[in-house]
Structures are given as structure tokens and as C-alpha cells.
Structure 1
């Protein structure tokens, strides 16, 4: 919402806004639980530099927001991730342009195409286990940084899917540029727009924009190479180069660059974060880990990747991980007209959102909501207004199917190949805090594992 004066009178306006923003930045889930317990549903949150949001965390509220007429909804701008993905990104585009761009991208993520990536995904996981990235295989006695490993696997997959890159030199070039780009956009730039300015060549913002420029140079070079050779290929870039809008026009250079940048960044960081949490949760729950291992054993020594994604326990573990740790924990929509959310009247320009940590912990839907209990997904099916790790409505994540395939195949490959143990720091005690990193939230520290004897 635009100003405090515009806030609906039934909602409490938070005081000490910077402290609230700091609390949310330190631990999104805990902050939302505290606000919900204190103020009920919905409640108002102010983000410095981005305005106010009316949040709901109930299935009823999610139903109202996700079913709101598409013409009433658009992503809020300014947006914390806009510097990373760009205003033309499918995540941020609006109205007719969003519908056109989604229609352009959707065929690339159809289930029939995604199923062809199964072997690519498993090969990426096996390459990491063999030590292709570090030169050190996952052998007994080795300590593994799960975040670095997960990012390497998922980035290799998305590079193959988007650009068809398999050659190690080019993959290393993209990996370096992508990693620098992601690491340059830390929590401070994400949460505090006032820091996004130049300062004698020394600011974090300038380091970020320089990394973005280097990243874009690689993408532009790939586009030019494809167009010069006239062989667009069968990967996602090739599909976008061959596809036309309804009026026959191709996607513009700027829009293509920002869509590709979005796919590379969002297409690997969110899945990598979910993979880290899945490994962490499993190794804090020996019984669930044993059940999953037994299920993988029944699949045989070298199962088809597409058979893996059908395993019920594996599926339940992945869904429970996404319930407890949605990589993007809030869904935001800005209104272009009047709307009512949970009895609160909102006007054009107001912003409303779904807090997934609350939605996924509603005790009326999820008994023992803070417990890692994958079998709940074997006992019943959950509706799109109860479980929404990829958002919902007409703006649900277009890459959700690829993310689901990738998480299941990589997790199965790791668990079925090596025996791990959480390092002592993480094996006991409190769970790591979830904090904003760049386009996703994740554990505040790199979670490490020790490789054991088979």
C-alpha cells in the first residue's frame, strides 16, 4: 500500500518499521508467525523502500488472492528482485505482455519436453559426486558444502536446458559469471533499496552492476552466435528464437536477454536451496531417511530417471521439504482496481500477498505443522490453496515441472549413491535461520556433510 494513511483502518500499522524489516530479514518464518499471532489474519507489513503489503496466511485468503481476476493483478514495482531479472522478466511483466510472454515460454516447460531432461539431471548429479567441479570425489572422509554442490548441479542442468551447454570450458565460463552475479546481490541490496547507488566505484551496487554486465555479455554473445549460424538448436534458447508472437514478431533482444537471465538465475537457485533443505531434513530424521533408502533400493541399481520421479516416498519427502522451506516464501500482487481480501477493502495501488510459511503451517490443514513428516503427503492430497510452493493463479511459476523433476532425480541420485552425515555443527541443536540470499531465501550458513563408508 502506498502510505500509512491509506492503510485499512481494521489493520494495525506497525511502528518502528526498520526493526520490523530487520526481523523479517533475519527470519521470515518466525516474523510472520509472530505477526499472525499478534494481529490475526490478514495483517499489514511495511517494507522500507517498497511500501506496505496486506498479508494473508490462510487457505481462504490464498483462494481469494489466487482467484482474483487477472486484469486486477500485477507484480509490485519497485520489486526487490528487479535489478536481478529486469522489468521484462516473466516474473515482473504485466498485463498483455505477461500473457504473451508466458505463452511464448510455456511450451519450453511442457511436461513432454521436461521429461527429456531426466538423463541430463542425473548426469549432472553424478558429475558432482565424481568430483568434476572440485577435483575431489565424494569419498569417505570428505566434507561437502551442500549449498555449493547443489548450486553446481542445478546450474549445470539449467545451462544444458537453456543453452544446450555440455562442453566443460563454456560451462565453467557461465558458472563463474553466474556465481559472481548471484553473490554480488546480497541481503542488504535485496532489502534496502537506498544502498543501490554508486559510491566512487566502491559500493556493493557497483560491484553488482559490473557482475550483471559481464553476465549479460555472455548471454548476448550466445544469442549472436546462434543467429549468425542460423542453427537455433532444440534447447530453450532455440525454441525462443524460433517462436513468434501472435502478430508474427520475434522477441526483442532486450526481452530475450532478461528472460534468459531469469531462467538461469531463478531456474537453478531455488531448486538448489530446496535440495539443501531436503538433505538436511532427511539427515536429521533417520527413520524417514531409512524408508527412502529402502524405496530407492527397490528401484534397482540404475533406474530410469522418469521412474524415480514416480516413487511415492521420494515425492512425499520433496513436497514436505517445499512445505517447510518454500524458496520464495511470499507471493505478492499489486491491485489495479478495488478488491476485498479477507474482509479488508483494498484499492488500486494497494499490494496484497500470501505468506507461505503461514499457509503451509495452518494447523487446520497441517497437524503438527512444524514437524518434518513426509507421510502426510501419502495420506491425502492437498489443494492449490493449501499448498503453493510455486505460487498460484495465472502467475504460478512456469518452471515448476522442471524444478520438481530436478529435485527428485538429484536427491535420489545422491541418497542412492553415498552415505552422508551432517557435520557436528548441524547434526544437533537449532535449525539454521532462513534468510534472503538473492532471488530466493535459504539457510544463513552453508550446511556441511561428511561422507561416510558405504
Structure 2
């Protein structure tokens, strides 16, 4: 291929899209190795995207003029989050909605959730979540447990849900909603049509309506009764835009649904990968346990989240397994990405697995080595697990805080061993799961023992 002519758009777009959906990281590495950087990928019903995975490419994209950037359209996750979602908002509306939502995720506010996060994790260990009690000899599905913990946290943080019956209702509705939005519906928009109530799209629409009923009921109850609380819903109900107006019920519902979807699936996926990587590398696990032991079992969860090696382990997990692996921007005006001229209507993107393994930045990029994050600080164009620029994930602070506290709580209460299937061999393939990508199947662990200093606290 002639570099002067620019990268070509591959033919057989459906074949390429299926390969990308089946094994995203391997496909993108193959394209980079074969054609260099940048390269085009065409998705059915969406068009071609020019991808980069280098530090310089990320710098260009994240620093592109805000007034010519839009979220991609049609957007594959719009049925999940809704058209009013912050993720899909454009221009001034994006700034307006982000200004309204950002205070709910201020670091000082996030630290208040430390006890909620720890309590949710301990309840899962006791068998009050989706898995049986984590006693010696029990085999647990880490993905099911992680989803249960993170969903409970986001339900408490967003809605203040502490009633077990109400929590169970939400848990069932969210589970059905996310399960109904299958990989084919995500990747092939042409399948989003009903067939007399029997098509996958019909099942998804029904599940979404049920979840929206619950959210709308909470909004109406708060507005009608004048109830107040310390949760994010209360904060948004009492917040005002710059012109003094309040957010509408429909827009609020989309924002809350976005928080439910994005606020638990992504963190749950990261937790599973962290447990998997640690238990495949005993010396790293021993070092982290030693740091946690030195801190003590009664250490404040907010302070625990700031432990340096715990932080490094979580950063390294996000480097190798970013839960949302691509960043996309659609252009409304001309722009050049890495020397390739693009026009209004074109889409450009960053492949985070490529960015996080750029050999010019990362030594031994395939290796899980948390120490690299103790040795130097990486810039926002080198390490971007939550995206970057003006559209960086508004909930990044909560996700970071939660991942660290849940991981620390698990490791200070139980000793685990990966089940034989996951103790050795290949790293599981990551595939799309709704808004995130994660292991194609739940990764299982066997509970070896309870940690002596914390066994009585469970």
C-alpha cells in the first residue's frame, strides 16, 4: 500500500466487522501490523472510521477543535442510553448537561461513597448478592459477583436504594435490559426492527420500558412528595442550568439510565480483569497483599483507595483491558489525522488497546507490570482508559474509587485461586457486552480460605 495515497478502506466490510466484534484486540493489532497507523475500518450501517493508536495520533484527536467534533451517528449505544444522554449530546448541549452532572462526581463527593462500596462488597461475600457465601471450597463467578457489587453501588449512589425488595426489582430490570441488548443488536443496526413481539428488538424494547417505569416512578415520587436525599438523583432534581431552568423528566430519565448502564458494567469488567491478572501472577498478588496487610483491616476505604501499589495494579489493569476500547469522533468540518485528510461527515477514532501498547511509550507492552505506574507518570495522550478531551468520562473518579475499594476488600477477606480452566493458558478473548467489552465468559475462582484477620468481620 502506498502511504502517499493514504490508507485504504478494506473491502468485505461485514467480514472485517465480524472479526473485530469477535476478537477486537487481535483484529486491530493485525491491521496495525499489516498497514501501519492510521488505518480504516468500515462498520455496516455506520461507515468507515479512521483509527489511530499512537501517542501523536491521540494528541491530534483529543486536541481537535471542539466546534467541529460530534459523537458518532448513528450511535450503536443510543438504544441503551437514550438520545438525551450526555454521551450523545452535541455542541452547547453537551457543555450544558456536563455542567449539570459534573458536581455529582466531584472527588470530595465520591469519597463519601467509600463505606457504601465496602459494604456492598462485604454483603456479596456473605452471600447477600448474586453469588453464594464465599466460604472455603466455594466456586464463584467473578463477573456475576462484580456486576452485583457495582450495580448495588450505583443504585445506592444514584437512587439511594437501600430497601432489599426495591433493589431486587431494579437488579432484575437492569439485568433483563442489558441481556436483551445482544451483540448483534449492538453491531448490526438493521436488526433493530420488531416482528410481532417475537424479535430480539421487541424483547429489548419491552425490557427498556420496564426499567424506564422504575426510573420514572422514582423521579415522580421525589418531585411529588418533595423527598430529599444525599444521592445523585436528589442533586440533579435540585440543580439548575445557567438560565435557571431544571432538567426535564424525560432528559433526566436518559441521564439516569446512562449512569446505571455505564456506571456498573464498565467497573465490573475491570474488577474481573484485575482479579484474573493478579491471580495469574503470584508475585504481584503477594506484593499487593503485603501493602494491604500493612494498612490493616480497619483502614478507611477512602484512604485505602490511595495506596500506591493498589493504584498501580488498577492502572495497569485499565491499560491492558480498557472497558470501552475505542474513542470515536465525527467531524463537521475538514481535519487531518496523522496526515490523512478527512472531510465533514467522516469519523475518526482511537483504539485504546493499540494506544496502551504503543512500543514508543510502553516497554514490554504485553506484560502485566504495575510497577511501570510507580516509575513514571503517563500523559493523557499515552494513557486514556476513560477517553479524553472535552468528552472524557464524567464518572471516571467514581469508577477509579470503586475499583480500588472493591478489589482491596476482596483481597483482605478471602484467598482465591483461579479455577483450572483459567489458571493457565491463553488470556480470554474480550467481546462486546453492551456498553463495554469484557471476557467472553464469566471467569471463575475457588475460595481457598478466609483471611485470618478479617474472617470474623464477614
TM-score (norm 1): 0.97
Asked whether the equivalents of residues 436 and 442 of structure 1 are also in contact (C-alpha less than 8 Å), the reply is: yes
**Pairing of 1:1-16 with structure 2 (within 5 A):** 9-16=5-12
Are 2:292 and 1:292 aligned?
A: no
- Mapped partners of 1:205, 1:18: distance in 2: 21
1:160 to 156, 181, 184: 156
Are 2:46 and 1:72 aligned?
A: no
Match of 2:38 in 1: 42
Match of 2:454 in 1: none
- Mapped partners of 1:404, 1:261: distance in 2: 20
Are 2:403 and 1:407 aligned?
A: yes
Asked whether the equivalents of residues 340 and 346 of structure 1 are also in contact (C-alpha less than 8 Å), the reply is: yes
Asked whether the equivalents of residues 132 and 140 of structure 2 are also in contact (C-alpha less than 8 Å), the reply is: no
- Mapped partners of 2:60, 2:17: distance in 1: 26
Asked whether the equivalents of residues 57 and 358 of structure 1 are also in contact (C-alpha less than 8 Å), the reply is: yes
Asked whether the equivalents of residues 178 and 215 of structure 1 are also in contact (C-alpha less than 8 Å), the reply is: yes
Secondary structure of 1:213's partner? helix
Are 2:300 and 1:304 aligned?
A: yes
Structure 2 gaps, min length 5: 451-458
Match of 2:118 in 1: 122
Asked whether the equivalents of residues 232 and 242 of structure 1 are also in contact (C-alpha less than 8 Å), the reply is: no
- Mapped partners of 2:209, 2:449: distance in 1: 45
Secondary structure of 1:55's partner? strand
Secondary structure of 2:330's partner? strand
Structure 1 gaps, min length 5: 1-7
- Mapped partners of 1:376, 1:138: distance in 2: 33
Asked whether the equivalents of residues 313 and 374 of structure 1 are also in contact (C-alpha less than 8 Å), the reply is: yes
Secondary structure of 2:195's partner? coil
State the Cα deviation string for residues 209-257 of structure 1 (Å, max 9, x = none). Answer: 1000000000000000001111232211111110111111111111100
Alpha-carbon offset, residue 134 of structure 1: 4.4
State the Cα deviation string for residues 121-169 of structure 1 (Å, max 9, x = none). Answer: 0000001001112473100011100010000000000001101111111
Secondary structure of 1:181's partner? helix
Asked whether the equivalents of residues 232 and 241 of structure 1 are also in contact (C-alpha less than 8 Å), the reply is: no
**Pairing of 1:145-294 with structure 2 (within 5 A):** 145-294=141-290
- Mapped partners of 1:301, 1:47: distance in 2: 49
Match of 1:3 in 2: none
Secondary structure of 1:80's partner? coil
**Pairing of 1:312-391 with structure 2 (within 5 A):** 312-391=308-387
TM-score (norm 2): 0.96
Alpha-carbon offset, residue 444 of structure 1: 0.3
- Mapped partners of 1:223, 1:453: distance in 2: 44
